Amino acid sequence: MLRTKAGIAAGAILLSGLGLAATTATPANAATYWCNKTNGNFIGGGNGHELAQIPAYNNTFDCITAEGASGPHVTAIQNALRHCHGRTRVAVDGHFGPITEAELMKVQAALRLDDDGVYGPKTRDKLKWRSSNGHCATLP
């Protein structure tokens, strides 16, 4: 399964470099780009809208990431899993390891998404994100 996910991610990256769209049927892999940072985005929570850091590729939020990735985009996912979805086994260390993958799969299943352990646009839209004020909410 890990080999399949790695192949899908590598294929998506290769196709994005060629300017082609990935055509895999896996919903989490509908994005073409591998997340490489976070951008601020508003979530609905607390008193009105609050800012949260959401995984991104340059200026788009349509990106994927999976086990083996590291960086601030992984930290944002780990914060969401730990603080907004109660997945206390997840360490907020910026490294997408097997525990982050397993806990993401559990949250994806609970949200009625494909529980493949790959973060993508459909997972992004359903996750509750932690704002800079510590509140959790989904994207509007």
pTM for the whole thing?
A: 0.77
pLDDT digits (tens, 9 = 90+) for 76-122: 999 999 999 999 999 999 999 999 999 999 999 999 999 999 999 99
Domains belonging to the chain, first-starting first, are 2-137 (1.10.101.10)
Q: Are the CB atoms for 33 and 121 separated by under 8 Å?
A: no
Q: Which amino acid is at 77?
A: I
Residue 109: CB atoms within 10 A of its CB come to: 11
pLDDT digits (tens, 9 = 90+) for 15-25: 444 343 333 34
